[in-house]
Amino acid sequence: MNIAAIDARFQLIGDEDCGVGLHCRRCDRGGLPVAYYAGLCDPYDGDPTVESVTAIFGLLAAADRHHRTAHGEEAG
């Protein structure tokens, strides 16, 4: 997995609930992340298209899966 390629294609955004959302720079998801890591807070319970992950590495794995399925390419 090429971290530099993932960094160029995705953005991590923290929120007021201490969670971290993984946002694709190429998709318009209306502000929804591709995946969400809740950290010490409750899991993401909003839109069912947002993947909830239980570890930071889960965000990297979600980025890889997203690029394979949504963009038909390897993330890195």
Tell me the pLDDT band of 17, cut-offs 50, 70 and 90: confident
Say if CB 58 and CB 36 are below 8 A apart: no
Whose structure tokens read 């394979």? Answer: 68
Does the pLDDT at position 4 exceed 70? no
- Find all residues with CB under 8 Å of 29, minimum gap 6, and list them: 23, 49
pTM: 0.80
- What are the CA-CA distances from residue 14 to residues 38, 68, 70, 71, 73 (Å)? 10, 24, 23, 24, 26
- Over pLDDT 90: what percentage of the chain? 33
- Over pLDDT 70: what percentage of the chain? 82
- What are the CA-CA distances from residue 55 to residues 59, 60, 72 (Å)? 7, 10, 25
